[in-house]
Amino acid sequence: MSGSIGNKLETALGSAIVRSKPLSGGDIADVSLLTLADGRQVVAKRPRMDQPDTTSVEKMMLKHLASKSLLPVPDVLYQTKGILVLSYIHHNGVSDGAAAAKDAARHIAALHAVRPKGGRPFYGFKKDTYIGPLPQQNKPSDNWCDFFRERRLLAMATSCARTGRLPQALMERIDNLAKHLDEFIPKAPASSLLHGDLWAGNMLIAGDRMAGFIDPAISYGHNEMDLAFIDLMGGLDPIFFDAFNEHMPIEAAFFKNRKVLYQIWPLLVHVRLFGGGYVGQVEAIIDQLGF
């Protein structure tokens, strides 16, 4: 770590950095585990030169989660342009997958019980955020169907098409599906605080419990968005859904067709980032839904 940044960090953290070790899993940032002279360990994230600086937005999202929910997330210790420093959450992987999945269900159901102020349906957030390195539009709406159509499905599909990641024929099929969303999803479900990016790498497990959740892409929306993400990429024991249902009932329509419809969103994010086989997965869902 360069001298000027290192000096600023030592001043902010109140202790000298004595060791730095790269951590895996940083797709858009260089992530390091720093050991301080006082024995603490912290995580430093620095966006790569070819990626947007999302550090201030991530700081805001983590602070919102910490202030509005009991979800275990890292403490924000320091942030300035080009660097974010967080408390390190110790985790050593899974020893009991079923127990860890049940604990995840407890935490995520409690997160989804957090509602926006005012008591009325509200979908979106006070500002736009990011999912990974990609902009996530959050202009609020009081109609979930409209919000999902414009701010999630069409926004990301259009970005994929404009960058050559999505064939025009498939874009036209997604446009057609978008016109019929009210046949599948409700206009005014309960508004839940969503983590927004619940894939396996963002859920830290310590044996039989969830140690923490990282790298959020928050907004308020239909909680089934998070559930669909977990089903697609969460890597949790299938008992998660039975356990979640005990805390917060899951409607039958989720398993019938809403789950796969909502999975188009994270798949389009992956199409935009990586292309390849994710296009085929989107196409298979469009086929399944009859469009």
175 catalytic residue (yes or no): no
Report pLDDT for 3.
58
What stretch(es) of the chain map to CATH 3.30.200.20?
Answer: 3-87
Question: What pTM does this model have?
Answer: 0.95
Reply yes or no on whether the pLDDT at 62 is more than 80. yes
In this structure, CATH architecture of domain 93-289: Alpha-Beta Complex (3.90)
- Report the C-alpha gap between 27 and 23 in whole angstroms: 11
> Which residues have a Cβ under 8 Å from the Cβ of 56 and sit 6 or more positions away?
79, 81
> Which residue ranges does the chain devote to CATH 3.90.1200.10?
93-289
pLDDT tens-digit readout, 191-241: 999 999 999 999 999 999 999 999 999 999 999 999 999 999 999 999 999
**Average pLDDT, integer, range 175-188:** 97
Residue 8 pLDDT level (bands cut at 50, 70, 90) = confident
Separation of alpha carbons 269 and 163, rounded Å: 13
pLDDT value at residue 88: 97
With contact defined as beta carbons under 8 Å apart, do 84 and 59 qualify?
yes
Cβ–Cβ under 8 Å, residues 66 and 75: yes
- The active-site residue, picked from 197, 215, 226, 231, is 197
Has domain 3-87 been given CATH number 3.30.200.20?
Answer: yes
- 269, 131 in Cβ contact below 8 A? yes
